[in-house]
Structure 1
Amino acid sequence: MKKIYIIHENNEWTDHLTKRLDQLQLPYESWHLDQGIIDLTTQPPEGVFYNRMSASSHTRNHRFAPELTGGVLSWLELHGRKVFNGSKALSLELSKINQYTALTKNGIRTPKTIGAVGTDQIIQAAERLGTVPFITKHNRAGKGLGVQLFQSVDSLKAYILSEEFEESIDGITLIQEYIQSEDSFITRAEFVGGKFIYAVKVDTSNGFELCPADSCQIGDAFCPVGEEAIEKPKFEIIDSVDKSLIAKYELFLADQQIDVAGIEFIANANGEAFTYDVNTNTNYNADAEAKADIYGMMKLAQFLGQELNES
């Protein structure tokens, strides 16, 4: 029997999808790829495959899950299986440099960014950038890992040479111009099947870690989601969003063969939008969705079900 196969490494992020698949009575199987075997002497099962491998898997002790997933996706694609968020999407998930080059190729503005490997090179990159303040971030990350704000190169030097410095899992640190939002918020546009479903306004006044998943409330001070009442919601689905930018995003996703994604951008005081993150392992905030009565995981489950029926 054909099934929907979910490729991942975090049950907490996948449970929301499987609940919707159960609700729709769709057959599925979970492939948790923190460990596994790729048997190239066999053919994959029939069905449709949805990859939601995360760049932050190493923070859950799943260091080689992305590499294993890359091999599995190559195997699936070799045999012509229908894969959503395949090898090309995984390449972008694991590298912000790859994201920025692909975005730029599609005419989408990104912040000025320099990548560096090595302590001296990171400092040189900040000097070469020539703008303050600036931020550092990990090239391979998730949930805002490694994001630090600096007001000077000297403060960066002190951080880089201290025990507090945290190196990216791939060794590449990014130095990036800091885009100041007038109202301290960013916007995340969500897409399923390559098409826009909604935009969510995210309050950034308390920090950079912007993971919208409900599970982020566990041990994550900058992801206060769930049922706790707060005066100002961190995540709020909004109606007003630049339609021309959304159109560019849809063309970008088609060009990069990405089916499901959350794309984050920030506008400066002049209203100029800068796109800085493409998350191909997108999650949704339950509180914001309930208030707006729109549900990303249901849209995704319906999309996968339709594709399964047509396969």
Structure 2
Amino acid sequence: MTADLAILYEHPQWFRPLFAALDRRGIPYGALEPGTAFDPADAAPPAPLVLSRLAMSAFLREREHPIFWAGALLARWELSGARVLNGTAALAVDTSKARQLALIASLGLAMPATRAVHRAADVPAAAEAIGFPLVVKANIGGAGAGIARYDSLDEVRAAVADGTLPTSIDGVLLVQDYVPARGGTITRIETLDRSFLYALEVAGAGAFDLCPADACQVPGSAIAMTAVEPAPELRAAAEAIARAASLDLGGVEVMIDDRDGVARFYDINALSNFVAKPLDVLGWDPHERLVDRIEGWLEEAR
């Protein structure tokens, strides 16, 4: 008998807790890894309900990454009538930080001042418009990849001249104001089915675009994570972002600008792995809540 649930994933370890939670409940599923060709004319999806767990950091693990390939595959399954959780609408947001920021701004929320460019030659002019210090970011990063700080126009011009600017697999870069986060912390707000699930305060160097499934597992890591209850307005904003981004499951990152106290949202993550060692950090396991909702989605998809 074919399972009613299929999970598309590429990271070899991140989803073991989810698979274990499904196994405990006796929920059958198919675990699908990218790596085989698909026929765009094949109308048969693998299951009525598909959960996409594709990471934007896939390109760091495999040069011939599946990110854009999977976008076409998910679109075919949607056209065939499958319910794809974090499907093509969410993937379109996940694969572009520029698009994320446009969505955030469209909701009337604050973000770091940013310019999106597609040519290295345009970075100096964008940097002059932003001011210093600033960061240059890959439009598709993941796990902190593709971020560099510059403190002067001379540094930026030198990076352009010697070809050491960050690169992005789609050729787009963001030139962005370096926001001094109050207390050296950011807040990551996790959502499930467009509603608040939990939030973490993250302290430590290099906290941007961190992976909570990895960070607190590294012995001696400078990154510390603490469960927090965010301010009501931040919680409401994260839920609004999740709705606008079509996130069935995902995280939103925000920091308080120490210069003016403004909450600036800067990242939307449709993969958003749950924090490692959740019982230590949260006191409960969010995978159980996810499986609760998967059971509901399965009923809706049948």
TM-score (ref. length: structure 1): 0.88
Are the aligned partners of 2:9 and 2:33 in contact in 1 as well (CA < 8 Å)?
A: yes
Separation (CA, whole Å) in 1 of partners of 2:57 and 2:219: 26
Structure 2: distance between partners of 1:63 and 1:55: 13
Task: Give the Å deviation of 1:180.
Answer: 0.5
Counterpart in the other structure of 2:112 = 111
Partner of 1:301: 291
In the other structure, the counterpart of 1:310 is 300
- Please list every run of 5 or more consecutive structure 2 residues that lacks an aligned counterpart in the other structure: none
Cα distance between partner residues in 1 of 2:88 and 2:138: 21
Deviations 1:99-133 (A, max 9, x none): 1111212222211111112222112211122x211
- 1:80 aligned to 2:71? no
Q: Between 26-35 and 134-143, report the one with greater CA deviation.
A: 26-35
Equivalent position SS for 1:50 = strand
Displacement of 1:288 after TM fit? 5.1
In the alignment, is the contact (CA less than 8 A) between 1:202 and 1:210 conserved in 2?
A: no
* Other structure's SS at 1:213 match: helix
Q: 1:275 matched to which residue of 2?
A: 265
Aligned residues: 299
Range moving further from structure 2, 289-298 or 95-104: 289-298
3-state SS, counterpart of residue 103 of structure 2: helix
2:290 is the alignment partner of 1:285 = no
Shift of 1:164: 4.1
Checking the alignment, whether the CA contact within 8 Å between 1:100 and 1:276 is kept in structure 2 is: yes
Contact 2:207 2:223 in 1 (8 A): no
Partner Cα distance (1:53, 1:45) in 2: 16
**Counterpart contact for 2:114–2:177, Cα < 8 Å:** yes
Q: Distance in 1 between matches of 2:185 and 2:287?
A: 24
Change (3 A) 1:45 1:204: same
* Residue pair 1:34, 1:62 contacting (<8 A) in 2 also: no
Task: Give the SS at the match of 1:63.
Answer: coil
Q: Is the 8 A contact 2:54 2:271 kept in 1?
A: yes
Code of the aligned partner of 1:307: W
Which residue in 2 is equivalent to 1:132?
132
AA in 1 matched with 2:217: G
Contact residue 235 and residue 288 of structure 1 kept, 8 A: no
Matches within 5 A, 1:1-311: 1-61=2-62, 63-129=64-130, 131-162=131-162, 164-205=164-205, 208=208, 210-214=210-214, 223=215, 225-226=216-217, 228=219, 234-239=224-229, 241-269=230-258, 270-287=260-277, 289-311=279-301
Q: Name the SS for the 1:12 alignment partner.
A: coil
Deviation (angstroms), 1:243 = 1.2
Residues 26-74 of structure 1, C-alpha deviations (whole Å, 9 max, x = no match): 1111121244313423322443111121222111115341222111211
Structure 2 letter corresponding to 1:260: L
Q: Tell me how far apart the structure 1 counterparts of residues 295 and 285 of structure 2 sit (CA, whole Å).
A: 16
Q: Please report the RMSD computed on the Cα atoms of aligned residues, expressed in angstroms.
A: 2.1
Displacement after TM superposition at 1:199 (Å): 0.6
Q: CA, structure 1 residues 233+10, in 2 after alignment: closer, same or farther (shift >3 Å)?
A: closer
TM normalised by structure 2 equals 0.91
For structure 1, list consecutive stretches of 5 or more residues without a partner in the other structure: 215-222
Q: Which stretch has the larger CA shift, 260-269 or 25-34?
A: 25-34
Identity of aligned residues (%): 26
Aligned equivalents of 1:162 and 1:289: distance in 2?
47
- Name which of structure 1's ranges 200-209 and 168-177 shifts more when overlaid on structure 2: 200-209
Q: Are the structure 2 counterparts of residues 182 and 157 from structure 1 closer, same or farther at C-alpha, using a change threshold of 3 Å?
A: same
Moved over 6 A (4+): none
Partner amino acid for 2:249?
A: V
Aligned partners of 2:4 and 2:48 also within 8 Å: yes
